[in-house]
Structure 1
Amino acid sequence: MDEPARYRVMVVDDNAFIRAGLTSALEATDDIEVVGEAGDGREAEEMAWRLVPDVVLLDVRMPRVDGVSAAAALSRTSRVIMLTQVEEPEVILSAVRNGAVGYLVHNTFTVDELAEAIRDTVRHRAHPLSHAASAALIDAARTGRPAAPAADPAEQRARFGLSAREVQVMDLIVRGHANHDIAAKLFLTEKTVKNYINRIYAKLGAPNRATAIVTWLGMPPGG
């Protein structure tokens, strides 16, 4: 996949100061352009259809249409990263089910890390989850199913049809490792890891990393 000369981003937050701060910080980079700002989900949906940004940075709690609801429509045109103060597991799960490919919590990342998350998302190299969001997602998946002994790797392989190597990759995904970390740990190239991950997504019926984690850990769809 060819990388764009500039990454086109839309910032959606009902707080004008946050929007201005994000816009200013991102446009200070060499390759990110903020093509639009919106103060609520409905405005964001209308704007996204016109602008078709590469990535939408989307707050959760906003008037008229909230971010979780808007994610469903926005994910049809763009890749959606939730960018919020909200850490409730049920909100994270709902956002992922509605198509968000990343979930970042304010004050847990630097501007440089946010910029790299945008680039990685467009390149399909990673699905950014802050540590708080990843932990909440995993905890929600584990507590959302009946108490039972954790499935061993053989049982998980039988359930989803994954190879032994794919199970290793998936276990590292669940632990929060990025593609380059997985490659280093398993002595693979990043391209090989990406190929494994694409096959894992297909076998789990998961469109992205967060949904794959939920599925792997046994949270029923819509649960």
Structure 2
Amino acid sequence: MTAPVRVLVCDDQALIRTGFTTIIDAQPDLEVVGECGDGRTAVHLAGRLRPDVVVMDVRMPGLDGIEATRLLAGAGVPDPVKVLVVTTFNLDEYVYEALRAGASGFLLKDAPPAQLLDGIRTVAAGSALLAPEVTRRLVGRYASRVAPPEPAPADGPLTPRELDVLRLLAEGLSNAEIAAALVITRETVKTYVSRILTKLDLRDRVQAVVWAYQTGLVGVTPPAVAPTRSRMPR
């Protein structure tokens, strides 16, 4: 049997922590190994308990969730922990900073329990998760703020087909939608995504999307109507 995914819950509201813990522990493939109410304790517990995923609030006393995420999953961290940011606040700035800090996912607290559970599983599996509210417009704006776009080298490491997959990934398409667009199987898409991450030395799909915007592979101009449905990896 596969060991359950180990989860650390960090939120400064005791009722929220209890609710999350109850929902997560009810799943046979998930296990809450600890909980806390501030970012500094989350960093300490993560180092001791080695969870697979930290469910992290943003606004907390002392060390907030963004800084805690940076210490757990940011650039240069020797043994990063996957972080799923779950917050009440649907503000662009929180998403920008969470992604910059190294978070692998972002959800709102009013999301259905099933979406929280799927988010934990998705992040634990090494994929990235953006809430339905986080559209291509938001990701594009984030990428444009992090660094000025610079053209991707013509002799870069990606093959033409891998570039096609990355473009569609950056447009917000799921694996199933990419497979349909390119007339290939989902497993082939997964293989291409894995190769892209390896060749570009990226952690997950979020970083791949940001790389695509930063290098000008796709533009940052928002679409006329932002998509509203979930764009979770399948």
**RMSD in angstroms over aligned alpha carbons?**
2.7
Structure 2 counterpart of 1:171: 167
Structure 2 counterpart of 1:64: 62
Structure 2 counterpart of 1:115: 117
Letter aligned with residue 159 of structure 2: S
Deviations 1:133-155 (A, max 9, x none): 34422233246677x9xx9xxx7
Structure 1 counterpart of 2:40: 42
Looking at structure 1, the residues matched to 155 and 114 of structure 2 have their Cα atoms a distance apart, in angstroms, of 39
Structure 1 counterpart of 2:139: 137
Letter aligned with residue 130 of structure 1: A
Structure 1 counterpart of 2:101: 98
Looking at structure 1, the residues matched to 177 and 112 of structure 2 have their Cα atoms a distance apart, in angstroms, of 20
| 8 Å CA contact 1:160, 1:203 repeated in 2 | no
| 8 Å CA contact 1:9, 1:55 repeated in 2 | yes
Letter aligned with residue 169 of structure 2: I
Corresponding residue SS for 2:51: coil
Looking at structure 1, the residues matched to 165 and 101 of structure 2 have their Cα atoms a distance apart, in angstroms, of 25
Structure 2 counterpart of 1:200: 196
Letter aligned with residue 110 of structure 1: P
Looking at structure 1, the residues matched to 153 and 113 of structure 2 have their Cα atoms a distance apart, in angstroms, of 39
**TM-score, L = length of structure 1:** 0.81
Structure 2 counterpart of 1:17: 15
- Matches for 1:180-191 after TM superposition, within 5 Å: 180-191=176-187
Structure 2 counterpart of 1:87: 90
Q: Does 1:162 align with 2:158?
A: yes
- Give, in angstroms, the shift of residue 203 of structure 1: 4.1
| 8 Å CA contact 1:49, 1:77 repeated in 2 | no
**Matched positions, count:** 210
Looking at structure 1, the residues matched to 109 and 157 of structure 2 have their Cα atoms a distance apart, in angstroms, of 37
Corresponding residue SS for 1:133: coil
**TM-score, L = length of structure 2:** 0.77
- Give, in angstroms, the shift of residue 205 of structure 1: 4.0
| 1:73–1:65 CA distance, 2 compared to 1 (3 A) | same
Provide structure 1 residue ranges, at least 5 long, that are not aligned to the other structure: none
**Higher helix proportion:** 1
- Give, in angstroms, the shift of residue 74 of structure 1: 2.2
- Give, in angstroms, the shift of residue 45 of structure 1: 0.8
Looking at structure 1, the residues matched to 163 and 207 of structure 2 have their Cα atoms a distance apart, in angstroms, of 16
| 1:4–1:175 CA distance, 2 compared to 1 (3 A) | farther
Provide structure 2 residue ranges, at least 5 long, that are not aligned to the other structure: 74-78, 217-234
Letter aligned with residue 128 of structure 2: H
Looking at structure 2, the residues matched to 77 and 204 of structure 1 have their Cα atoms a distance apart, in angstroms, of 18
Deviations 1:46-80 (A, max 9, x none): 11111111110111111111111111232335211
Counting aligned pairs with the same residue, the percent is 37
Deviations 1:85-124 (A, max 9, x none): 23333432332232211111222x3222221222222222
